[in-house]
């Protein structure tokens, strides 16, 4: 099985100026109360998995399975925490993705586990979840004090109650007394202020923990730009080698054959005009075939239909030329930049070519969508035998570099036995 993901991280959106608006503070308080319950349950499960896994390690290595489950539970919690913080504050955090080595086999799986385990953003999210759980526990304490204070403040409405009550460990007699009412009002105000303070602190801590610093953002942007540049350079190099190979292995021998045929015709034109005529006819046929190959080669470098009529028309053209049936479903609302459309076009074209040549597929399905976040997403799936691999200098390698060069992601999943799936997502305005 081959599963490869090439990703160029999207830059974070501008951080909001304020995290302490009244509406957000109220919503944050609800989040903290929920985390005070859900967080305790989640970390209890995690601690149980960790202790069980370590304890079962001597038992035929069964603990390893539990520890793998523990790691993926950590990832799930970090994904939920990242989504929660980004939904609450709109920091523009990139969605959590499972890190993968892209290597097949058990060794690749182990490396994937290691890469996931050392992912700093996962541990940042886990740390933020721990802090939110502690703050949530405190929020429940202050909410209980707030409720008690309200009850004390309105105790005169219930008449002259006898007996004693406690607030914050202080024994109070005669609940309807003015002192008790005053203490109740004070307790309610202090508890409410504490809840607001916890919500504000949560926002500040979440920004500090979850959002990279300006220096980190600049470094990430520089790294992203360097990756795109390197991808574009590698894509151009792979494309150049492909053109050289096609010229050397295809068109050049055909043109040499035409020249030799015309040479033989020239020798026979006086002694055997009929044979010379046949040789000229053969050279003419070979020349037309060479012209056709040149057109196909030029189409692989640049397609005029894509520039003139857009991605939908260009994909319809290659689907109509495919040797196997293609179900094409394209829904685009606007045109994207030429390099973006070209990247998506060539990914789909190469996937269709591979399906026709190697997969033994009887059908291919192509879906193209323009999403609300401004990205173009495409998926190509065939019902062939699978087993496609990425080789240096090959067609799939060139596609990965081309997509990386425009800041997109490419995922190739081709298990032995099929089906093969190629997914590409590229920012429309990259």
- CATH number of the domain bearing residue 328: 3.30.565.10
Shared domain check, 112 and 30 = yes
> Does 49 fall in a domain?
yes
> Does 17 fall in a domain?
yes
Angle among Cα 246, 247, 251 to the nearest 5 degrees reads: 105
> Does 143 fall in a domain?
yes
Q: Which of 73-87, 254-268, 410-424 has the highest mean pLDDT?
A: 73-87
Domain count within the chain: 3
Domain stops at, among 266, 283, 301: 301
> Does 220 fall in a domain?
no
Shared domain check, 335 and 290 = no
Quote the pLDDT of residue 127: 93
**pLDDT for 247 beyond 80:** no
Tell me if 423 sits within 8 A of 407, measured CB to CB.
no
Shared domain check, 236 and 182 = no
**pLDDT for 217 beyond 60:** no
> Does 29 fall in a domain?
yes
The residue with tokens 């062939």 is 384
Q: Print burial letters for 11-26: b (CB count within 10 Å at least 16), e (below 16).
A: ebeebeeebeeeebbe
Beta strands in 124-275 (DSSP E): 164-167, 170-173
CA–CA distance, 280 with 282 (Å, rounded to integer): 5
Q: How many other CB atoms are there within 10 angstroms of residue 140's CB atom?
A: 14
Shared domain check, 295 and 195 = no
Angle among Cα 225, 231, 236 to the nearest 5 degrees reads: 130
Domain stops at, among 161, 187, 212: 212
Tell me if 188 sits within 8 A of 14, measured CB to CB.
no
> Does 413 fall in a domain?
yes
Shared domain check, 421 and 278 = no
Shared domain check, 164 and 67 = yes
**pLDDT for 314 beyond 60:** yes
The residue with tokens 């109070």 is 172
Shared domain check, 148 and 46 = yes
Shared domain check, 290 and 156 = no
Tell me if 176 sits within 8 A of 58, measured CB to CB.
no
Average pLDDT over residues 272-278: 81
Shared domain check, 57 and 27 = yes
Higher pLDDT, 269 or 241: 269
Angle separating helix axes 338-357 and 395-405, nearest 10 degrees? 160
Quote the pLDDT of residue 132: 93
Q: Which of 211, 202, 205 has the alpha carbon at shortest distance from 36?
A: 202
The tokens for 422 are 């190629």
CA–CA distance, 265 with 247 (Å, rounded to integer): 25
Average pLDDT over residues 225-253: 64
CA–CA distance, 120 with 117 (Å, rounded to integer): 8
Q: Which of 125, 57, 206 has the alpha carbon at shortest distance from 116?
A: 125
Shared domain check, 198 and 106 = yes
Shared domain check, 317 and 271 = no
CA–CA distance, 415 with 385 (Å, rounded to integer): 8
The residue with tokens 């304890």 is 55
Angle separating helix axes 178-210 and 62-89, nearest 10 degrees? 110
Strands 3-6 and 170-173, bridge-based pairing = unpaired
Which residue range forms the structural domain that includes residue 242?
Answer: 225-301
Shared domain check, 394 and 297 = no
Burial of 275 (0-12, 13-18, 19+ CB in 10 A): middle
CA–CA distance, 405 with 142 (Å, rounded to integer): 53
pTM over 0.85: no
Per-residue pLDDT band for 12 (boundaries 50, 70, 90) equals very low
> Does 217 fall in a domain?
no
Q: Which of 197-206, 207-216, 397-406 has the highest mean pLDDT?
A: 197-206
Contacts of 169 (CB under 8 A, 6+ apart): none
Higher pLDDT, 365 or 356: 365
Domain stops at, among 282, 301, 320: 301
Reported as a single tens digit per residue, the pLDDT across 141-198 is 999 888 888 877 776 665 444 445 555 555 555 555 566 678 778 888 888 999 999 9
Quote the pLDDT of residue 11: 43
If DSSP codes are grouped into helix, strand and coil, which group holds residue 123?
helix
């Amino acid at each position: 099985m081959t599963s490869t993901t090439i990703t160029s991280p999207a830059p974070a959106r501008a951080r909001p100026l304020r995290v302490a608006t009244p509406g957000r503070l109220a919503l944050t308080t609800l989040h903290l109360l929920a985390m005070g319950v859900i967080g305790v349950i989640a970390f209890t499960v995690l601690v149980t998995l960790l202790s069980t896994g370590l304890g079962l390690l001597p038992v035929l290595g069964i603990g390893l399975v539990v520890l793998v489950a523990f790691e993926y539970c950590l990832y799930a919690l970090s994904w939920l925490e990242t989504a929660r913080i980004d939904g609450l504050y709109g920091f523009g955090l990139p969605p959590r993705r499972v890190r993968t080595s892209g290597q097949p086999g058990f060794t690749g799986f182990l490396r994937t586990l290691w890469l996931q385990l050392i992912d700093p953003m996962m541990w940042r999210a886990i740390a933020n979840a721990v802090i939110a759980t502690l703050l949530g526990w405190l929020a429940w304490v202050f909410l209980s004090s707030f409720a008690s204070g309200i009850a004390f403040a309105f105790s005169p409405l219930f008449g002259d109650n006898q007996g004693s009550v406690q607030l914050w460990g202080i024994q109070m007699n005669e609940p309807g007394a003015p002192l008790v009412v005053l203490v109740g009002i004070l307790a309610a105000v202090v508890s409410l202020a504490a809840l607001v303070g916890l919500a504000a602190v949560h926002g500040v801590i979440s920004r500090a923990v979850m959002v990279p610093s300006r220096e980190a953002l600049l470094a990430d942007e520089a790294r992203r730009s360097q990756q795109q540049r390197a991808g574009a350079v590698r894509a151009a190099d792979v494309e150049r080698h492909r053109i050289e190979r096609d010229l050397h292995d295809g068109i050049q021998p055909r043109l040499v054959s035409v020249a030799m045929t015309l040479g033989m015709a020239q020798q026979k034109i006086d002694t055997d005009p009929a044979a010379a005529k046949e040789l000229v006819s053969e050279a003419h046929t070979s020349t037309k075939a060479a012209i056709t190959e040149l057109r196909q080669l030029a189409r692989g470098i640049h397609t005029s239909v894509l520039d003139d009529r857009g991605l939908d028309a260009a994909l319809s053209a290659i689907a109509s030329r495919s040797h196997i049936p293609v179900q094409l479903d394209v829904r685009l609302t606007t045109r994207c930049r030429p390099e973006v459309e070209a990247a998506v076009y060539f990914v789909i074209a190469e996937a269709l070519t591979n399906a026709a040549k190697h997969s033994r597929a009887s059908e291919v399905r192509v879906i193209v969508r323009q999403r609300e976040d401004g990205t173009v997403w495409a998926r190509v799936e065939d019902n062939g035998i699978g087993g496609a691999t990425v080789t240096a200098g090959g067609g799939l390698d060139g596609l990965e570099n081309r997509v990386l060069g425009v800041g997109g992601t490419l995922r190739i999943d081709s298990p032995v036995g099929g089906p093969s799936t190629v997914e590409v997502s590229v920012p429309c305005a990259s």
